[in-house]
Chain A
Amino acid sequence: MREVDGPKEPVETGPPPFSEHSADSPLSIHAMTVAYDRRPVLWDVDLDIPPGSLVGIVGPNGAGKSTLVKAAIDLVPTLSGRVRIFGKPFQSRRRMVGYVPQRESVDWEFPVTVLDVACMGLYDRIGWCRRVNRAAKERGMEALERVGLADFADRQIARLSGGQQQRTFLARALVQDAHLYLMDEPFAAVDAATEESIVELLRELRSTGRTAVVVHHDLQTVRRYFDHVLLLNTRVVAFGPTEEVFTPEHLQATYSGKLTLLEEASEALSKHGSSP
């Protein structure tokens, strides 16, 4: 009931105003709580991602960064809360969302080529029981070209470097031509060249009005890469434009007790102070 006509009909009980969901927000999360075995991983998360932004999610290990991304697209069950993608539930907005999982989530020895993987992003458009046709392969190649892997199209995916594997996953999301991209640690363990090309790609996406939400681990690059940042530690510590929100106080609150990370954070900030 509520799922269908929530925004129009006020409900007496339960968490109030669904009007909080802005209809044009690519990703709007309200009062979301997720728990694994009774241990809360995300607690009462509220979030309205502005359209056309590049959002970095940072926070210590176990802060629920990946879980947030997965819960947004129903990959992990939520205890409570609602997610809206451009004003509608994920089920009816599936095609507008491109998801890039962590590289370690699959077995790279699997007998498929780079092009095979890229084309997987088109399966729902190709439809059941149909072969991957030439048009799909052409689009797969285009996506591979965008991530600089066109020369590797026929290569088995185990014979790629880590960065190339990450870019293969990106290509698979790019073929979907989505409006919202959710990326889980795309910068983890990639070479400098790949990191640069991913950043370039993100900016390209933003310049065409797309939105990207990226789980990120390197505090040093947050300011350079993202215009918005979400500081997460089970709860939302802060969310907003990077300039305003990425402050020592917020970082301290996010990483409290984790000394080494705190040092890293202050180093990142001091670096930023000396060279823009």
Chain B
Amino acid sequence: MTRHIKTRRDILLTGAAATLVTGATGLTVPARAAGVAPTPTMRGGANNYRPGAPIVDRIGNGGFWMTGRVRRAGDGTPLEGIRIQVWAHTTEGHERDPQSHGATLTGADGTFRLEMPQIVPAFGQPHGHLAYDSPEFETVFLRPVMRSASDSTLHAEFVLQPA
């Protein structure tokens, strides 16, 4: 095999090609002047979602806290009365079980907290699911992973884009 030595010409060509590709395919993201970008849906976030989970004081017997905050994209204003649905594989049921699902509303400061059974590792990671799926804003599904399976709380941030 002949050895190929990287020349300046190669490097310039690579750079030019990269610029062309990103420019032509729209892979670049324009800089946003007004601050808070909307939260994208996470991969696998909607798995085992059951639309219309009831608003509850607590899912099952509790012991674990799902917390979070909901803001509006752009100005970052906290959003009150936003319905957030939560589900997970816990000590009391699989993700698909109806009793593993529940919903809550955000307070005036945009935060929410919902007590639920301890999340346990399932499908390889200790993780929870959250959904914002109501008409006023674009739907967002989140799938945060716990740093440790022994954590007794999990936090999620929503930045919603008006629909």
Q: Do A and B come from one complex?
A: no
Q: Which residues of A contact B (CB under 8 A)?
A: none
Q: Which residues of B contact A (CB under 8 A)?
A: none
